[in-house]
Amino acid sequence: MAKYLAQIIVMGVQVVGRAFARALRQEFAASQAAADARGRAGHQSAAASNLSGLSLQEAQQILNISKLNPEEVQKNYEHLFKVNDKSVGGSFYLQSKVVRAKERLDEELRIQAQEDREKGTTPKT
């Protein structure tokens, strides 16, 4: 009886192991395909997301902007920073999120400007 139970356990572990390995290979392939689709700029943008801890979309939502416009980013940043100042009853946590969002958007604007210089065009605003 113990022999059969051991065989069942071993067989179950093998099945789960194969399924896990297959899922891991599929995830790796999908990740590679997504990285290839993003291209070179996507790599810089992904690196910026990793450094700031925010995606571009999150940063845009926090600062309530739809397009990357340096003036709009600065205006919304200043307003939200002042509103969330602890001395006026704001939240330090939200204020720090606003700062991180601005840093992320500034980095994205820098990446776009660099790409535009490499292409020989004028920067987007």
pLDDT value at residue 55: 85
Number of domains within the chain: 1
- Residues 32-89 have pLDDT tens digits of 877 666 655 455 565 656 666 788 889 999 999 998 899 999 999 999 999 999 899 9
- Residues 75-122 have pLDDT tens digits of 999 999 999 998 999 899 999 999 999 999 998 899 888 888 888 765
Interatomic CA distance for residues 58 and 33, integer angstroms: 23
Question: Taking Cα atoms as reference points, which of 98, 104, 52, 46 lies closest to residue 77?
Answer: 98
Does residue 2 register a pLDDT over 90?
A: no
Look at phi and psi of residue 89 and say left if phi exceeds 0, alpha if psi is from -120 to 50, else beta: left
Q: How confident is the model at residue 31 (pLDDT cuts 50, 70, 90)?
A: confident
| Range of the structural domain that residue 16 is part of | 1-121
CATH code of the domain in which 101 resides: 1.10.287.110
